[in-house]
Amino acid sequence: MEVRTTYDGLFVDGGWRTSAGATTAVVNPATAAVVGTVPEGTATDLDAAVVAARRAYDEGPWPRMPQAERGRLLRRFVEVLDAHRTELARVITAESGALPWLVESTHFGLGFGRFSHAVDLAAGELDSVTPLKVGAGSVLGGTALVHEPLGVVGLITPFNFPLFLNLSKLGPALALGNTAILKPSPLTPLEGLVLGAAAAEAGLPPGVLNVVTGGPEVGERLVTDPRVDMISFTGSDRTGSAVMRAAADSLKPVVLELGGKSALVVREDADVQHAADIAFASFTLHAGQGCVLLTRHVVHRALVDDFLDALATRAEAAVIGDPAEPGTTMGPLVSEAQRRRVADYVRIGAEEGGEVVCGGKPVDRDGFFYRPTVIHGVSPKARVAQEEIFGPVAVVLPFDSDDQAVAIANDSRFGLSGGVVSADTGKAWEIARRLRTGSVRINGGGTAPDLAAPITGWGASGVGAEHGLTGLLEFAQPKSIAFRAG
Ligand code: NAD
Looking at ligand 1, which residue's alpha carbon is closest to its atom 39?
257
What are the residue ranges spanned by the domains of the chain? 9-258+462-484, 262-451
List 40, 257, 466, 474, catalytic entry: 257
Clarify whether 358 is annotated catalytic.
no
Evaluate: CB of 291 within 6 angstroms of ligand 1: yes
Rounded CA separation 417/440 (Å): 5
Looking at ligand 1, which residue's alpha carbon is closest to its atom 15?
216
Looking at ligand 1, which residue's alpha carbon is closest to its atom 20?
219
CA angle 233, 91, 235 (to 5 degrees): 15
pLDDT number for residue 138: 83
Question: pTM of the predicted model, to two decimals?
Answer: 0.97
Residue 16 burial (CB count, 10 A): 16
Evaluate: CB of 176 within 6 angstroms of ligand 1: no
Looking at ligand 1, which residue's alpha carbon is closest to its atom 26?
158
pLDDT number for residue 485: 87
Evaluate: CB of 289 within 6 angstroms of ligand 1: no
Evaluate: CB of 236 within 6 angstroms of ligand 1: yes
How confident is the prediction along the chain (486 residues), in pLDDT tens digits per residue? Answer: 999 999 999 999 999 999 999 999 999 999 999 999 999 999 999 999 999 999 999 999 999 999 999 999 999 999 999 999 999 999 999 999 999 999 999 999 999 999 999 999 999 989 999 888 888 888 889 999 999 999 999 999 999 999 999 999 999 999 999 999 999 999 999 999 999 999 999 999 999 999 999 999 999 999 999 999 999 999 999 999 999 999 999 999 999 999 999 999 999 999 999 999 999 999 999 999 999 999 999 999 999 999 999 999 999 999 999 999 999 999 999 999 999 999 999 999 999 999 999 999 999 999 999 999 999 999 999 999 999 999 999 999 999 999 999 999 999 999 999 999 999 999 999 999 999 999 999 999 988 789 999 999 999 999 999 999 999 999 999 999 999 987
Rounded CA separation 399/396 (Å): 10
List 191, 291, 466, 474, catalytic entry: 291
CATH 3.30.950.10 is right for the domain spanning 262-451: no
pLDDT number for residue 375: 98
**9-258+462-484: CATH class:** alpha beta
CA of 285 to the centre of ligand 1 (A): 18
Evaluate: CB of 225 within 6 angstroms of ligand 1: no
> How many Cα atoms occupy the beta-carbon half-sphere of 214 within 13 Å?
26
